[in-house]
Amino acid sequence: MSETVFRVMLRLQIKPGMEREFERVWLEVGDSVTTHPANLGQWLASDGEEKGIYYIMSDWVDEPRFREFETSDRHLDHRKKLHPYRVGGTMSTMHIVAHLPGAVGSALVEAPTHQAWEAR
């Protein structure tokens, strides 16, 4: 991952009982984000402890290209489709300054189990 990657994280509170429908619609409209030429990927995660809280993370080649996307008609349409499910939310932006890849899928894996890793 490049050090110039620009990451956006949304924290959304979804109306009670509408979580599954929100997930379905998010998947349906997701390509309006991931097909943008500056998008590097997007993730949807549900909070492990707080019901109705979701996080959307997306990575971009840089901040100016994200801002271009953010004001596009396609993005505004995407937001309109998700808005009925939201009670509230916040947005955080960040610049990735470093990335350490994990062992899974890496040629660096020498210890096949937690116990073997711990013993090293």
Domains and CATH numbers, the chain: 6-119 (3.30.70.100)
pLDDT tens digits for range 30-87: 999 999 999 999 999 999 999 999 999 999 999 999 999 999 999 999 999 999 999 9
pTM, two decimal places = 0.84
The rounded distance, in Å, linking the Cα atoms of 113 and 120 is 11
Which letter, b or e, does each residue of 32-60 get, where b requires 16 or more Cβ atoms within 10 Å of its Cβ? Answer: bbeebebbeebebeeeeeeebbbebebbb
Helix axes 19-29, 73-82, angle to 10 degrees: 160
pLDDT classification of 1: cutoffs 50, 70, 90: very low
